Amino acid sequence: MTENKRQVEKLPTGIPGFDHICNGGLPKGRTTLVTGTAGTAKTVLACQFLVEGIRQGEAGVFVTFEESVEDIRRNMLSFGWDIAQMEAEGRWLFVDAARQTDESVVIGSYDLTALIARIQYAVSKIGAQRVSLDSLGAILTRYTDMGILRREMFRIAHTLKIIGVTTIMTAERVEEYGPIARYGVEEFVADNVIILRNVLEEEKRRRTIEILKFRGTSHRKGEFPFTIIPGQGIVAIPLSAIQLRQRSSDLRITSGSPELDRMCGGGFFRDSVLLVSGATGTGKTLMATGFMAGGAMNGERCLLFAFEESRDQLFRNAIGWGYDFEEMERQGLLKVHCEYPEVAGLEDHYVEMKRIIEEFRPNRVAIDSLSALERISTNKGFREFVIALTSFIKHQEVAGLFTSTTPTLLGGTSITEAHISTITDSIILLRYVEVYGEMRRGLTVLKMRGSMHDKEIREFTIDKRGMHIGKPFRDISGILSGNFTRLVPDELSRLSNLFKDEESS
């Protein structure tokens, strides 16, 4: 979506995901205040803003009030940013305004003209287009006269605007949800305010970025999760910024089971996302395995993310059902990525999965199970993750199959389902059915967007050759809720007559 030309021009920052949230980037030629409590990655953002600029051929000036130049150079190396090298190439210039050890006293009134002159000098020296000032709090503690400082900060912002650079200023906050900045003067200096948060929620840390205001131009509203990745820096995850614009195809692909294909009206759609929900042991991993094998058999590239079982287990299981994963891998048609959910935060998982998908370019992706990832996140975080991932997969135009474990053996739904049932195209339920004291398995296609499908609850069995779908459970009702009622034949025929009309709709 292009903005009106007369509106404020945006400068794409190059920070992954961030420009999405900003609707294109930071307002060009203006000052943006970035505030956050301690440890919210303000300095990282301030540095990355320059680094990404330098990658795009725009030089940058970094004004540090707090950390020493040497510390910044060293700390940013872990993100793969060799600032010393950029300095040597004349693309990065420090203005060192960090506190000096020498004694100093204030007598009478003063201004910060020297600092402004130095910034101007630095900008013109390397032809900088981006400037970062980090952080204002440090200078506010050094000089105590708020009146002078407020005036001087306005002058700095004004000067930067006149020389036409795009600026990020950072400032501290005391609380995650409180005043915008510690001294209450910072936010009035900038046209734009961005808040970084690092909130402890349900014992889990969650980093978010929120654009509070962009004067005269649009941006996405609300908090967006982000993560910090070694070798990469800040990666924002623009959930709702993702547009549901993917093309949809009516091309059918096999589920790996001819019987299930028949139930689904000829197979899954090529770029649909499917949710398989069931209690533990109902055959979800088998469904995922079959889905992979079905693809590989047709020469499609398949990618399996496994969060519950180890690689060895998965491969052994597959052999047990008659699928040779090793051979598929050898042919380059299959990639299995096993990981315990706990090894990383959800945002990190998201970024990693995205990277693997982009690298492997699969035709099919299966996640077994999606609900295992619930453990490592808050409800809100998980919902955002699922939405982001689903949208991403849909954009890649690949078929996705996610499994979800229901917490109870009989009936029930999971959080995963509650979050994603509306964005998945199809839902398949796997349920235990108790018949005369025996546990059997039932399967039903609950929803299949854009297609006719079988509406019966059918029994299915598992053997050496995978899954087999059999006859519908005719004389039992209440399978989905787990409250079984056996029906006598009379009642059955009466009921089927009763609902005949609605059935066909």
Tell me the catalytic residues.
Answer: 66, 308
Dihedral, 489, 413, 386, 224 alpha carbons, nearest 10: 140
Residues that bind another protein (CB under 8 A): 95-97, 100, 102-115, 117-118, 120-122, 139, 143-145
- Rounded Cα distance, 355 and 344, in Å: 15
Nearer to another protein, 101 or 504 (CB): 101
Terminal-residue alpha carbon distance, the chain: 39
CB of 151 to another protein, least distance (A): 13
CB of 190 to another protein, least distance (A): 20
The two beta strands, 334-338 and 399-405, are unpaired
Nearer to another protein, 116 or 344 (CB): 116
CB of 164 to another protein, least distance (A): 18
- Rounded Cα distance, 265 and 493, in Å: 26
Q: Which helix (H) or strand (E) holds 227?
A: strand 223-229
- Rounded Cα distance, 60 and 321, in Å: 59
Nearer to another protein, 100 or 504 (CB): 100
Give the tokens for residue 102: 């020498």
CB of 188 to another protein, least distance (A): 21
Q: Which of 38, 94, 101 is nearest to 69 (CA)?
A: 94
Nearer to another protein, 147 or 437 (CB): 147
418, 270 Cβ separation under 8 angstroms: no
Nearer to another protein, 156 or 388 (CB): 156
Q: Which of 62, 31, 29, 388 is nearest to 236 (CA)?
A: 388
Q: What angle do CA 92, 94, 99 make, to 5 degrees?
A: 160
For residue 228, what are the contacts with CB-CB under 8 A and spacing of at least 6? 41, 44, 207, 234, 235
Nearer to another protein, 107 or 452 (CB): 107
Nearer to another protein, 97 or 388 (CB): 97
CB of 36 to another protein, least distance (A): 24
Whether the CA torsion 28, 34, 40, 44 is positive or negative: it is positive
CB of 104 to another protein, least distance (A): 3
Sort 87 into a burial class: Cβ within 10 Å, 0-12 / 13-18 / 19+.
middle
- Rounded Cα distance, 42 and 315, in Å: 45
CB of 27 to another protein, least distance (A): 27
